[in-house]
Amino acid sequence: MALPSPDHRPGRNPFGTPPQTPSPDHRPGRNPSGTPPQTPSPDQQPDRPRPAVPSPAGWFSRHRRPATARSVLAGEAAAEAARKTSQEARTEDEAADETPDEPEFPVVGDVAAAAFFDLDNTVMQGAALFHFGRGLYKRHFFHKRDLARFAWQQIYFRLAGSENPEHMADVRNSALSIVQGHRVSELMSMGEEIYDEYMAERVWPGTRALAQAHLDAGQKVWLVTAAPVETATIIARRLGLTGALGTVAESVGGVYTGKLVGEPLHGPAKAEAVRALAAAEGLELSRCAAYSDSANDIPMLSLVGHPYAINPDSRLRKHAGEQGWRLRDYRTGRKAARIGIPAAAGLGALAGGAAAAAALQRRRR
């Protein structure tokens, strides 16, 4: 049996040095830095099982329905519609890029040229006469039953886009009955206020820019409308235009008689008014431009050398396409070059009718 060497006496280590007495900082349960040991978090503890968390997809898997023939059809139809729409948009953009640049127009300094603008839905959203009627009603100029009848007549006319003689006569008589016995100066004064209240914010910026281009070129610009000439004159002056051609109501001693001088300035009558003004002003119609939204104004548009369809109705859009007339559509915020963008005619009149109906309902309460 081997005896332990002196270096292996109890209390000594194999290297012959006395054992080290642990310091207070090396007591069991403390680390060398003297700070208590950190307890591992549940996520850091080794070999600790974690609870199973169901996948979000699993929550719905039990309720997932198999695709039916109708759902498959709906999906395929949606994909095909998206593909077709994308292709059409690319085709339109390519066609616009391929359209040759238009010659400079209007021609600066061409004093033998002028521009003629329709008013309703061309320069202004909706019917100017109806906006004027709303302002008169607000000033207790007539009764609510007159406004309701007048609003309906305007809406019907804009939506129908036709010149039914009986309906036109009814519209004319309604307007004349409203102003009969009132002074011309009275309506002119009200018209200035009504323009600021109801009309100024409804002017199409795009159309106004077209008119300004003619003015900047040194040309005269006229409004041509079936609205009363007094109303049209106010609008023309506020827009900085040359003047206005409009329906003339008879007055004696500055008071309206309730009759018209001739017929409303509508359809073929507009063309005759433009022809007469051009002769008086020494203009060459082949160098003039005309702008309108309605097929009713085709006679006026056909009279000039530079016709434009602005926010066109369906009939005018079709006719303009056949004739190669230029188109501009400001209802969608984009220019349509030789392309008509469908839109319901009479939106402005409908909006005015809805607002008037709401005003009447508030008054009843």
Which residues belong to the active site? 118, 120
Characterize 250-288 residue by residue with b for buried, 16 or more Cβ atoms within 10 angstroms of its Cβ, and e for exposed: ebeeebbebebeeebbbbebbbebbeebbeeeebebebb
How far apart (Å, rounded) are the C-alpha atoms in residues 259 and 273?
19
Radius of gyration of the chain (CA): 41
SS (H, E, C) 137-185: HHCCCCCHHHHHHHHHHHHHHHHHCCCCHHHHHHHHHHHHHHHCCCEHH
- Our CA angle for 85, 91, 94, nearest 5°, is 145
Q: How far is CA 172 from CA 17, 30, 222, in A?
A: 126, 104, 23
Q: Is 99 helix (H, G, I), strand (E, B) or coil?
A: coil
Q: Largest Cα–Cα distance of the chain, in whole Å?
A: 152
Q: What is the number of other CB atoms lying within 10 angstroms of the CB of residue 238? A: 15
How far apart (Å, rounded) are the C-alpha atoms in residues 224 and 300?
10
